[in-house]
Each structure stands twice: as C-alpha cells, then as structure tokens.
Amino acid sequence: MSLSLYFNYVILPLLAISITLIFYRLFKGPRVVDRVIALDLLITTGVSIITVYSISMKQSTFLDVAMILALIAFLGTIAFSYYLEKKGND
C-alpha cells in the first residue's frame, strides 16, 4: 500500500469521522469549557488535515500555514485558561 492510498483510504476518513464527532460536541456541549475544548480539538484536527494534504501534494508551504494555525489555537487555549483562572479567584 502506497502512502497516498494510505492517506486517502485510512487517515482522511478517520479525520472526517473525528471532525463529525467534534462538531457534535461543539454544538451539544453542556458547558462553555466543553465547547472551547471542542473548538481547540477542531483546530488541531484541521492542522492535521492540512499536514496530510501538504505531505500528499508535496507542498511545504501548507506546513507553514498549519504551524501558524496551531500557534493561534495554542494561544487561544492559554488565554481561555487564564480567563478561567482569574474568574475563579474573584
């Protein structure tokens, strides 16, 4: 099995299933924390899809986009945890 077939028939369908489950948790989440975690996981899964596409098409430019998106997701998670910490102390 070649790498492109593995991407197309194994990895991308698994990522599509995970995106579906993440969207379910994003809309159904009972608390705001659940929704923020789902959004962070959605961005992380998007980074993995961009990475798979970049490797598949041999375009290293998309890896830069994936790294920037991962950095934004990380900073958003840090900002939200800082907000929760400050909210809990008052």
Listed by start position, the domains of the chain span 3-89
* Distance from C-alpha of 27 to C-alpha of 38, rounded to nearest angstrom: 9
- Helical axes 32-57 vs 12-28, angle rounded to 10°: 160
Could you give the CA distance from residue 70 to residue 59 in angstroms, rounded to a whole number? 18
Tell me how far CA of residue 78 lies from CA of 20, 33, 37, 67, 69, in angstroms: 25, 13, 11, 16, 14
Q: What is the pLDDT of residue 89?
A: 65
Per-residue pLDDT, 90: 56
- Per-residue pLDDT tens listing for the chain (90 residues): 788 899 889 999 999 999 999 999 999 989 988 998 999 999 999 999 999 999 999 998 999 999 999 999 999 989 998 988 888 765
Cα–Cα distance, 18 to 20 (Å, whole number): 5
- 7 within 8 A of 52, measured Cβ to Cβ: yes
